[in-house]
Every structure is written in structure tokens, then in C-alpha cells.
Amino acid sequence: MNSAIELEALPPVGNQPAYLAPLVRAIWPKRGDEINALFQDGGSDINASADHPFAIKFEGEYIGITGFYRYDDAAVGSCWHGITPSMRGRGLSRAAFDAVRLLAANKYPGAQEIIELIPSDRDTDLVPYFSKLGFRHLGEIARFDYLPKGPAWRIYRAPLRSPNAGESS
């Protein structure tokens, strides 16, 4: 199914394609407007030179977004990973994650891990999914000024290079 997934580069900030706003609202109905504002105007956590967001296409239809950014010398961060509800449960999100992980590994060859920041108030919703992708929480809490205050943001880590056949270290 990987061959059916396409990743189309998006600008990290400003002048977004017309399909993006409705797509984001479909994926994250409660936070769609907030996320769309970040894509349009930026935010303190967005670095246009280091962020790599993508629209996910399947059979010519935009079904999600995903991306990565440089986290530190040894890791990249996963960001904006989501699929529309009607396309969930078909392995498309995993295929998109594997594709973006390969792109990140090629872009930053020294990176060994991919990071996902998950707020503690969303553990029930997000941890089971990201655990299936190989992410593990080792007790680390993220402490960045740009993160919304309130819940603790836990750092989850996974190997950047997939054990799948066809990918190399």
C-alpha cells in the first residue's frame, strides 16, 4: 500500500493550498482553526528553514497531513500527523508515517530517532496509536517555552530507521 501513498510538500508557513484548511478541520475538528492559523501565520515553534510538512494523498485524494522537523543532532520530530476519519483503519497512516520517516532519515543522516510530543491530557487518545508505530515513553518531559501551558508534554521516542525491508541505515 506504500506505493499508493504520495507526500506533497507544503510550505511551513503562509500561502497554503485551498484544500488544506478543510482537511485540517476534518482531521482535528476541535483544533482545526488553531492549527490552520499556525500554517498561515506561523508560531513560535515553527522554523520555516527546518520544518517539512506534507499533504498525504491516496488515489489522488488529499486524506491527511504529516511532517517532520529537526529536533536536535540525534533526532527529528514528528509533526502534524493525521488522517481524515473516513480513511482510518486501512493502514494509510502507517504507510504515510513510514514514508515521512524515510524522508527524514535521508534528509538528516545523523539522526537516529524520531520524537513525538504528546500532552498528558491526550494520552488516552494518542498513546495507543503512536505505540503501534514503535514510540515509547522513557519518562522524559518536554520543557519548551512554545508549548501550551497546562498538561505535561511527554517525549516519546522511536527508531528513525524502520526495520522494514527496503530501508537502509
State the maximum Cα–Cα separation within the chain, in Å, rounded to a whole number.
42
Residue 71 counted as domain residue: yes
At 115, give phi and psi (nearest 5°): -110, 145
- Give me the mean pLDDT over the 77-82 stretch: 88
Range of the domain at 134: 2-159
Residue 90 belongs to a domain with what CATH number? 3.40.630.30
CA–CA dist 67, 137 (Å, integer): 20
Contact at 8 Å (CB) between 74 and 159?
Answer: no
DSSP annotation of 147 reads S
CB atoms within 10 A of CB 42: 15
Residue 70 counted as domain residue: yes
* pLDDT tens-digit map of 10-69: 888 888 899 999 999 999 898 888 888 888 887 666 666 667 889 999 999 999 999 998
Number of independent structural domains in the chain: 1
